[in-house]
Structure 1
Amino acid sequence: MSDAPTTPDMPVSPPVPDWEKRFRAPRVSLPDWAEDAPDRSLFVSNATGTYELYAWDRSTGEQRQVTDRPNGTTDGILTPDGEAVWWFSDTDGDEFGIWMRQPFHGGDDVPAAPGLEPSYPAGLAIGRDGTTAVVGRSTDEDGTTIHVVREGAAPVEIYRHRESAGVGDLSHDGSLLAIEHTEHGDAMHSALRVTRLDGSTVAELDDTRGGTVELGLEVLGFAPVDGDTRLLVGHQRRGRWEPMIWDIASGEETELGIELPGDVNAEWYPDGSALLIAHSFEARGELWRYDLATRTLTQIETPAGSVSGATARPDRTVEYLWSSAAQPPSVRSTGGGVVLDPPGMKAPASVPVEDVWVEGPGGRIHALVQKPAGTDGPLPTVFEIHGGPAWHDSDSFAAGPAAWIDHGYAVVRVNYRGSTGYGREWTDALKHRVGLIELEDITAVREWAVGSGLADPSKLVLAGGSWGGYLTLLGLGTQPEAWAVGLAAVPVADFVTSYHDEMENLKALDRTLFGGSPEEVPERYEASSPLTYVDAVRAPVYISAGVNDPRCPIRQIDNYVDRLAARGAAHEVYRYDAGHGSLVVEERIKQVRLEIDFAERHLKGAATQR
């Protein structure tokens, strides 16, 4: 048998590079499951090339795509009885819309809360009978409102406040509602209120009162047992996030005193007898089981890396989403093996991270470093700055940094002050010198990278998205000689205009960070705004922006770009029809390709230095 003949002029498709495969390889989120129908699950996947919601009937193995929209869908929840999927319908990524409902096994989409106008979502809790829901809404006009929605009846408003708030959880019997709110005006530290479904208050818990140190609380969930009034709460009383149990009926607060370093999160086991503990420390994650009767802590074996989500099943197995910087994500079970393995191409592996600790002006700074295998410095180096700011980079799989490594770059990711996972003081350090504090930490790590021989000082790229994009533009203006290229995705570029155009809950966050509005503390906004320093920028700048972005709106980016253009500064702008980022795989690949191409063109010919 001979090979099929080829035609000399037949086009040959180039092989798909590994970096693109990492984006295109099908992925799945950790499946959520219905409380009273645990064989029914909901997950997110990019199997079609766009991130959408999928229903999974474990009893039959059937998987069904629930949503199909041009710009994707990721916000959805199963009703506790497993009969329906609620999903949030916005317009082209603008995050402003309504909840829709679709039967679990398929059917027409209908408005889930008829009578409620479009809004930004502020939490959702659904009663176990599937006929009652509590819907949180946020708008510029009303602030936050919370409505009780029952089938066949008009929505009833039970909460309203100008400051940001959100639905926490419904008790198992549907009689109590836990609300997180910031009525005290500090958008970084919530207080808690438990109400009946008529809005009347049952209990309050507020760690911000009467003290000089501001502490936050968060709702982790009511006990999953009828008549049980225990509420699992996250608190910061010992300088980091950890759980306690608040009995709404008696008022008793039981701090669990789990002695693990770093932040500790928790959720109930389905029978209420134990807690599943998610422990985050120094950019890694692990799982533990806390038995409430014996107050004993037992580690659940997981590989080294990061656990980015976990849930305890009724059979006491634990399912979790795991990855490392070198190995792509998979949904695993303590019962053995991979739980949900999408068909098709598998993402190629990347290289592991190295931990670096650098002394900085506010304490030791943790950075994660990756470089192409077998290379020595000095290398062109990308400082990939995370968003948030209340977030952190971890030893988890990320296709973006891996793409730079494949192109010969070292990648440095800095968990600057403001990042989570290193204690409350580290996270809360940003106030009043917003942006400038983070750049001090990035500067210290940059000096280490150059001094250690890792980074070529003439080929340093400052890059990031969202808050990372903001820090990129601010760094290019305040440190113009330090960076060779800047790449800013969906950034804050003009803080005053951004404040006036952004969604209401982000305005509240800005007031907390700066100590007021732009009219009240104009000097702080001026000191922290990239627009203030735009005329000092020397490095070529690439900016990508979603035209429907409610978080970093397009007008303030246009103001910055106009100033660059007015003086003929080297820059390129890419605008795309989506919101704060894209859920379309090919669009994301296009953006990374444009960024790499921009850096390659502008770094070409730069002399390698030691």
Structure 2
Amino acid sequence: MNVDPATAPALSPEVTARWQARFRAPRVSLPDWAEEAPHRNLYSSDVSGVVEQYAWDRETDAHRQVTDRPNGTLFSTLSPDGSTIWWFADTDGDEFGVWMTQPFEGGEDAVAVAEVGPAYPAGLEVGRSLVAIGRSTDDGSELWLAPRGQEPRVVYRHPDPASVDALTRDDELLVISHSEHGDPRYPALRVLRTADTTEDAPAVVAEKWDGDGRALHALEFGPLAGDRRLLVGHERRGREELLIWDVAAGTETEIVLDLPGDVTAGWYPDGSALLVGHDHAARTELYRYDLASGALERLETPPGVVRGATARPDGTVELAWSNSELPPVVRRADGPVVLSVPGAEPPAAYPVEDRWVPGPGGDVHALLVRPAGPGPFATAFLVHGGPEAADDDSYRARRAAYVDAGYAVVHVNYRGSTGYGSAWRDALTGRPGLTELEDIGAVYDALVAEGVVDPARAILTGGSWGGFLTLLGLGTQPERWAAGIAEVPVADYLAAYEDEMEGLRAYDRALFGGSPEEVRDVYVRSSPITYVDAVAAPVLVVAGANDPRCPIRQIDNYLGRLEELGKPHEVYRFDAGHGSLVIEETIRQVEAALGFALRHVTP
């Protein structure tokens, strides 16, 4: 049956107002700034009720909405001189579209490079004299160069995923990442000379690949004139670390930091230091690393999560920060708020507790939020997507909504999650889904034994890969779950592979060990529809009509099987893609999920 949020069991008006206020409170992203005009900034915000792009002139403090589309706009960037805004136009959230341009001061939108047809985006580098555009289609990857005053040309084409990654300040060198070796999870890097490179005769300056199981990520070239230092992320010692590759000299310098977690970084504008982000155990720290002395200085920020940070030309550091209790804020590292928009502050949320639970592959990190009163509690296991992602100590309106409704909430950073080393991230290879559910089951059992989770009132829920794990868990662990809520899930893996974007098919081939034609049994073993007969709990499925990642046909296949078997289920459909950028639509989806949970699992 189709679910109508308006018919859901009602929470009190006060509770409903509180959880919805967290979604409706306007948010802003960390502003991006033009290299040669740092007063010209670009940010995204949902102040209109839809996520759109906004221009901000810091000299005049003038703010202007750049895009205005029914399903929102997620991607944008500025030209180095700040004169032009580039933004990506897809159709109804399907992620397939073209880059558009608009003058910073406002004016007509125009297709940026007409010769580059619609596609899924695969990187964009806007230089001073040329633009590099990456695109992905069912035929594979194409990378284009569009020099000013010349015909655009394809400089790279391959069936496997590739992307545009970094451009030198003088536009002479372009770095691309590719997976010609067959595994897009571990890309290699290639440096091309832009002046004379072509598809048939690539002008290759340098190459770097660390081999199977070791990814390289080009972060950015040094900011100085003629700078050939490329900041690169590597994982030679089993976690994300840094090196500087001088592509002209052919030398590299590893930056070895005495920090336990993963690190990433960006340049300070004078090129003398790096702004280092350190992610460990669901929290972020920021550091300044001086390249000459090797000194590492911690920047004082409150405990929590940094979603982005940038060093400005005046040496100040700006960042987007939140923790599980306090809502996001764009501020300087030394305290002052940098950017906010009119509107009420969202209500505070709830602190998370850490749990480390022995699991079959090692200790599993989980985060727990408990409502007031004694346990055991009706509990919602909110599992993250990705799978290469992680839950953390950041502000989450959805998490808080479940707690407001009376549920405990558990997040599990299962094997496959990032932030716990390369071996942990890659442990699900060849057995996706079932591996993660072992870790979720271990946390479930530990919290039942602790008296936190009521085993008769446990809900499994998540979106995207988390939705996939939800449906797979309902079929393979039916004794554990009293209800399941799967949002934009993979439900029938064979059909999903046929319909999803090519970049995801390549990822699946690497994850499963081949295509369905080559290792069909592996896909069948990890597909939720294989176990649909065993599903005992009621199921809610939330599905996007235009989703290119978890397409609608394979979800309908699963729903059809539930219908044939007479299994209790509901479906909520929305007219967008892999989620929604429209705040009221997101609220309707959360309302449907909470209503379903309250009907079937009483807190």
Per the normalisation by structure 1, the TM-score is 0.95
Partner residue of 1:179 out of 163, 176, 181: 176
SS for the counterpart of 1:469 is: helix
Match of 1:229 in 2: 228
* Distance (Å, rounded) in 2 between the aligned partners of 1:336 and 1:450: 41
Task: Give the Cα–Cα distance (whole angstroms) in 2 for the partners of residues 43 and 551 of structure 1.
Answer: 26
List per-residue Cα deviations over 1:443-474 (Å, max 9, x = no partner). 00000111111111111000000000000000
After superposing on structure 2, the runs of 4+ consecutive aligned residues of structure 1 that deviate more than 2 Å are 13-16, 150-154
- The aligned counterpart of 1:116 is 116
State the match for 1:7 in structure 2. none
- Are 2:570 and 1:567 equivalent residues in the alignment? no
Deviates more, 1:291-300 or 1:191-200: 191-200
8 Å Cα contact 2:188-2:215 kept in structure 1: yes
Q: State the partner residue of 2:280.
A: 281
Shift of 1:336: 3.5
Kept after mapping to 1: 8 A contact 2:370/2:403:
yes
1:445 has 2:448 as partner: no
Partner of 2:90: 90
Q: Which runs of 5+ in 1 are unaligned?
A: 1-12
Does the aligned pair in 1 maintain the 2:96–2:121 contact within 8 Å? yes
Q: Which residue of 1 aligns with 2:138?
A: 140
SS at 2:517 equivalent:
coil
| 1:145-224 aligned within 5 A | 145-197=142-194, 198=197, 199-208=202-211, 214-224=213-223
Match of 1:51 in 2: 51
Cα shift at 1:475: 0.1
Report the number of matched residues.
585
Deviates more, 1:215-224 or 1:148-157: 148-157
For 1:364 and 1:602, how far apart are their aligned partners in 2? 32
Q: What is the identity, as a one-letter code, of the residue corresponding to 1:119?
A: A
Partner letter of residue 411 of structure 1?
V
- The 1-side partners of 2:583 and 2:312 are apart by 31
Q: CA deviation at 1:603?
A: 1.9
Map of 1:8 onto structure 2: none
Q: CA deviation at 1:150?
A: 2.9
**Number of the residue aligned with 2:430:** 432
**Following the alignment from structure 1 to structure 2, what is the Cα–Cα distance between the partners of residues 27 and 158?**
39
- 1:497-524 deviations in whole A, cap 9, x for unaligned? 1011000100000000000000100110
For residue 335 of structure 1, report the CA deviation from its aligned partner.
4.7
Q: SS of the residue aligned with 1:418?
A: coil
Return the alpha-carbon distance in structure 2 between the equivalents of residues 485 and 336 of structure 1: 44
- Is 1:358 the counterpart of 2:361? The answer is no
Read off the aligned partner of 2:208 and give its amino acid letter: L
Residue 367 of structure 1 aligns to a residue whose secondary structure is: strand
Q: How does 1:368-379 map to 2 (within 5 A)?
A: 368-372=367-371, 374-379=372-377
What letter is aligned with 1:184? H
1:298-313 equivalences in 2 (<5 Å): 298-313=297-312
1:334 deviates by 2.7
Q: What is the rounded CA distance, in whole Å, between the counterparts of 1:413 and 1:105 in structure 2?
A: 44
Unmatched segments (≥5 aa) in structure 2: 1-11
What is the alpha-carbon distance in structure 1 between the residues aligned to residue 600 and residue 559 of structure 2?
18
Give 1:250 deviation, angstroms: 1.3
Distance in 1 between residues matched to 2:13 and 2:254, nearest whole Å: 59
Q: Tell me how far 1:411 sits from its aligned partner.
A: 0.2
Amino acid at match of 2:243: M
Higher relative contact order (CA 8 A, sep 6+): 2
User: 2:5 aligns to what?
Assistant: none
Partner residue of 2:526? Answer: 528
Cα deviation digits, residues 141-196 of structure 1 (max 9, x gap): 2x111001134433111011111010111011110001111110012101100001
Paired AA for residue 458 in structure 1: A
| Deviation, structure 1 residue 105 | 1.0
Contact 1:461 1:483 in 2 (8 A): yes
Aligned residue runs from structure 1 range 382-531, under 5 A: 382-531=380-529
Partners of 1:594 and 1:497 lie apart in 2 by 26
Query: 1:53 is matched by which residue type in structure 2?
Result: Q
Structure 1 counterpart SS, 2:597: helix
CA deviation string 1:91-150 (max 9, x = no partner): 0000000000000110000001121110000000011x2x41000010102x11100113
Residues 338-395 of structure 1, C-alpha deviations (whole Å, 9 max, x = no match): 10011111110011000000000000000000112x3221111000000000000010
Question: 1:61 & 1:135 partners in 2: Cα distance?
Answer: 31
| Partner SS, residue 427 of structure 2 | helix
> Which one-letter code corresponds to 1:109 in the other structure?
D
Secondary structure at 1:476 match in 2: helix
TM-score under structure 2 length normalisation: 0.96
Residues 242, 265 of structure 1: 8 Å contact kept: yes
1:216-255 deviation line (CA, Å, top 9, x unaligned): 0001100011111110000001110011000101111100
Q: Which moved more, 1:143-152 or 1:279-288?
A: 143-152
Confirm or deny: 8 A CA contact 1:114 1:154 kept in the other structure.
no
For 2:147 and 2:554, locate their aligned partners in 1 and report how far apart those are by CA, in whole Å: 41
Cα offset, 1:51, TM superposition: 0.4
- Counterpart of 1:527, as a letter, is R
In structure 2, distance between residues paired with 1:69 and 1:151? 29
The secondary structure found in structure 1 opposite 2:114 is coil
8 Å Cα contact 2:300-2:334 kept in structure 1: no
* Cα distance in 2 for residues equivalent to 1:331 and 1:483: 39
Q: Distance in 2 between matches of 1:601 and 1:331?
A: 39
Distance 2:373 2:425 in 1: 34
Q: Please tell me the root mean square deviation across aligned C-alpha atoms, in Å.
A: 1.1
Q: Distance in 1 between matches of 2:556 and 2:333?
A: 50
Q: Which amino acid is 2:261 matched to?
A: G
SS at match of 1:394: coil
Name the CA distance, whole Å, in 2 between partners of 1:101 and 1:192: 28
Q: CA deviation at 1:14?
A: 5.5
- The one-letter code sitting in structure 2 at the alignment partner of 1:565 is E
- Matched with 1:341 is 340
SS at match of 1:430: coil
Match of 1:331 in 2: 330
Q: Give % identity.
A: 59
Q: SS at the partner of 2:518?
A: coil
Give the Cα separation in 1 of the matches to 2:188 and 2:150: 31
The separation in 2 between residues aligned to 1:435 and 1:304, in whole angstroms, is: 32
Q: Which amino acid aligns with 1:171?
A: T
CA distance in 1, matches of 2:469, 2:373: 29
Distance in structure 1 (CA, Å) of the matches to 2:497 and 2:251: 41
* Partners of 1:77 and 1:430 in 2: CA distance: 35
Asked whether the 8 Å contact 1:56–1:63 carries over to 2, the reply is yes
User: Counterparts of 1:227 and 1:472 in 2: how far apart (Å)?
Assistant: 51
Per the alignment, residue 17 of structure 1 pairs with 17
Deviations 1:315-351 (A, max 9, x none): 0100001100011000010354110011111110011
User: Of residues 526, 550, 553 in structure 2, which corresponds to 1:552?
Assistant: 550
Does the Cα contact within 8 Å between 1:165 and 1:182 map onto a contact in 2?
yes
